[in-house]
Amino acid sequence: MIKFNFFPCVMIFLISMHSLTVMASSTATSIGVKMTITHANCVVNNGKGVSGTYNLPVINDSGTVVDRIGYTDIPLIIDCTRGGGPRALGVSFNASSYGFQDVYNGLLNTSIADIALRTHWKRNGERVIDFSGVTDLLAIKDAEIHPGVYDSSLKVYPVASKPGGMSLTPGRYQADLTVNISYY
């Protein structure tokens, strides 16, 4: 989305109406600017990106997973082999609709208040994801699976957030998670 700020345009217009002699007699100032232009040299999931819908495991009213597999894999392979490896590679997350239950312990709220999703990195010992900031993938041991290729895939587990013995609210649950990847 392009944001258009109206105020600077008005100022430029007003300054351009000023007499050139007045402008010439004022003190000259300058600013030095350096810019680095980088190419998008990383591709996520073979160019498919991260967007998608993933089926979450079914859990019963007591909070027990009844599917054969108790988690959902969300692939997030970042290939930075085009043009050399990145000097910085970070991943951060935002909860779109329902928010986070616990940013430090990887808990994401769902559409059903009784159910949360616990997120882990698929690699590196399945560490819980800390949603509070940016994770530096270059600093994580085992994230680079091939030279310039990083696996930051997620495992998502449903967890009951009601005390034991209490029934969960029945129904379909969903959650939204925005993945932000920054590299240069």
How many Cβ atoms from other residues are within 10 Å of residue 86's Cβ?
19
Q: Tell me, yes or no, whether 128 lies in a domain.
A: yes
Report the pLDDT value the prediction gives residue 76, as an integer from 0 to 100.
92
Asked whether residue 16 is assigned to any structural domain, the reply reads no
Q: How many CB atoms lie within 10 A of CB 63?
A: 18
Within-domain flag for 68: yes
How far is it, in rounded angstroms, from Cα 169 to Cα 73? 25
Distance CA 151, CA 123 (A): 7
Q: Is residue 2 part of a domain?
A: no
Query: Quick check: is 88 in a domain?
Result: yes
Query: Per DSSP, what are the bridge partners of residue 183?
Result: 89
Overall domain count for the chain: 1
- Whether 1 is in a domain gets the answer no
Q: Which pLDDT does position 5 carry in this prediction? A: 38
**pLDDT tens, per residue, the chain with 184 residues:** 333 333 333 333 333 344 444 444 444 444 656 555 555 678 899 988 888 888 888 888 888 888 888 999 999 999 998 867 788 889 999 987 899 999 999 999 999 888 999 999 888 656 889 999 999 988 887 888 999 899 999 999 999 887 666 788 888 888 988 888 888 7
Residue span of the structural domain in which 57 resides: 32-183
**What letter would DSSP give residue 8?**
H
The CATH number of residue 44's host domain is 2.60.40.1090
Q: Per the domain annotation, does 24 fall within a domain?
A: no
Encoding tokens for residue 45? 């999931």
Task: Please give the pLDDT value at position 36.
Answer: 53
Note whether residue 126 is domain-resident.
Answer: yes
Contact 143, 183 (CB under 8 A): no
| Beta-sheet strands, E only, within the chain | 43-44, 72-74, 77-79, 89-95, 100-102, 107-109, 115-121, 135-136, 144-146, 149-151, 154-160, 177-183
